Structure formats: structure tokens, C-alpha cells
A = this chain, B = another copy of it.
């Protein structure tokens, strides 16, 4: 809304492959996304933007994230309480092992599942594969 600082226009850079219109807000979202490798909720991303001085409307954040997700530039998943979480993809891919009672989370990864999902998908004629996997259990200190 109030464009208070017409001189800001340099530090953040790096527009992903092809963004429809690389506006300041979209760049800001893309930029924040590149600062972490795990999944963050849309609202959290909005807060991060706010905290970093970039004033981007919540609706715009949602729109941008959706756009990025549609174009395959970010991965999306739903947390257990129904929030959408986003992560810039093409980065270290891992899954979460979550304790059902205390919530302790371990990041795990392994080529096994990656290979299996690709194989299964190919077997059924599916291309351009991605997947989400979450493991739940009771951790050592909770059992």
C-alpha cells in the first residue's frame, strides 16, 4: 500500500526460472523461501516477510505461493492441523519422523523410497514424480 521507500531495489535478487511478473513482492517471497530448507506455513512465511521489513499482504503471499506451487517451483504439503506448508524444491529432500506424543521430529532421508516411488510411478505411466512421506511413532523417551 504505502510505498514509503522508492530507493529500495537492489539487495534481493534471484528470480526463479520464469516468474510471470517479477514484482517486488514476488521476489520477496521467493527470497524468503530460499532462506530455509524445510517446510514453513504460509502464515509463517508472511510473518518472516513482515519481520524482514518487506510489507507484503497476506493474500499476495498466498497467491504467490500458490503460483510457485503450480509452476512446480515449490513443494507443498499439509501439516497435521491442516495448514499448508511450502518449501523451495530442488533441494535436499527429506522426510519427517514425528513422535506422536511429544512431537519430537527427526529429519530422515534415503534413496530407498525415492527409488521406489519413481519405479512405482513409472510402472503406472506417471511422469514428473514427487511425493510426500511422513512417519509417525512413539519416540524412545515417550514409550
Contact = CB atoms under 8 A, between A and B. Distances in A.
B78 A80 contact: yes
A34 interface: no
B116 A139 contact: no
Interface string A123-143: 011111111111111111001
A106 interface: yes
Q: Interface residue tally of chain A, by bracket?
A: 35 or more
Contacts of A108: 120, 124
Contact of A121 (B126, B129, B137): B137
Contacts of A84: 82
B125 A129 contact: no
10 cross-chain pairs, A with B, having the tightest CB-CB distances, nearest first: A125-B140, A126-B137, A78-B78, A129-B137, A131-B135, A82-B82, A133-B133, A112-B116, A128-B138, A2-B81
A53 interface: no
